[in-house]
Structure 1
Amino acid sequence: MHAKPYELCWFFLLGCFVYSMLEILFRGFTHWTMALTGGVAAVALYLLHAAAPPRTLLLQCLCGALLITALEFTVGVFDNMVMDWHVWDYSNMPLNLYGQICLPFTGLWFFLCIPAFGICHIVSRRFQKQRG
């Protein structure tokens, strides 16, 4: 499958919205860089799902969790260590790296990838129908 620009834009906007809403729901606030990070993560998951062989959900979730963790580390270093914006701090979490990422959240990303890849599957089939 070759993703069209409108598909990637759709997933970017979906990721911006969903991630921001999850943060607001669980933390009570979010930061504009988290919306962008959610959008980039959603596009990356969509492309990962499109490239993955069928029936590899657990492997996709593992790759997705690692991808999101790497993205979170990159954004965290910039937001929290370079810009000193204090968007988040995982220093009190077990198995953290510089307070930017931690193993418990990597596990959370793994499980959140299950519904995310379900959405990717449904939406990609709809986009394919539109292409004819």
Structure 2
Amino acid sequence: MKLSQLLFSFLMGFFCYSLIEIVMRGYTHWTMSLTGGLVLMIIYIINSRSSITLIRSCIAGTLSITAIELTVGIFDNVIMRWNVWDYSDMPFNFLGQICIPFSCLWFVLCIPASLLCRRIGRTLNRQPVNKKAVPIRSEQPL
């Protein structure tokens, strides 16, 4: 896996997640943009295995997103007190940072994210067409 592939998937996640948050909530926080980039990069890594099924990819993605969300939430909301989000009113929440309903949403969002990552992988791994080389005149036998 090339660094350029990881960087591209990070930037796609950075911008796509920021756009989703702005459309849904009207704003985003810079840490959410970074988190979105990290998440899509991890989903890209998960989907780089050719043997992984879509359902397994979504399960791994959901667990990864939930773990990252908890980590970022503890830093942003508990330690720094930036109050980026609060799931305290949601059922089955943990410290107001993660909850089962949003983990279910992450599972659903992993479907298009996984398909996007597979598309990115196919596009970036595409080898140039090897056309038959025409010898330079000086290389032709006399």
Q: 107, 112, 129: which one pairs with 1:110? A: 107
Query: Where does the alignment leave 5 or more consecutive residues of structure 2 unmatched?
Result: 130-142
| Larger CA Rg, structure 1 vs 2 | 2
CA drift of 1:51 comes to 2.6
1:100 pairs with 97, 119, 125, which one? 97
Taking only the aligned residue pairs, the percentage that are identical comes to 50
Q: What is the CA-CA distance between 1:52 and the residue it aligns to?
A: 5.5
Instruction: From 38, 45, 61, give the equivalent of 1:47.
Output: 45
Aligned to 1:5: 3
Map 1:55-66; keep pairs closer than 5 Å: 56-66=53-63
Contact 1:52 1:60 in 2 (8 A): no
**TM-score normalised to the size of structure 2?**
0.87
The residue aligned with 1:31 is: 29
* Structure 1 segments (4+ residues) deviating >6 Å: none
Once residues 115 and 84 of structure 1 are traced to their aligned partners in structure 2, the CA distance between those partners, rounded to angstroms, is 32
Query: RMSD in angstroms over aligned alpha carbons?
Result: 1.2
Consecutive unaligned residues of structure 1, counting only runs of 5 or more, are none
Aligned residue pairs total 129
In the alignment, the residues of structure 2 paired with residue 109 and residue 71 of structure 1 have an alpha-carbon distance, to the nearest angstrom, of 12
Higher helix share: 1
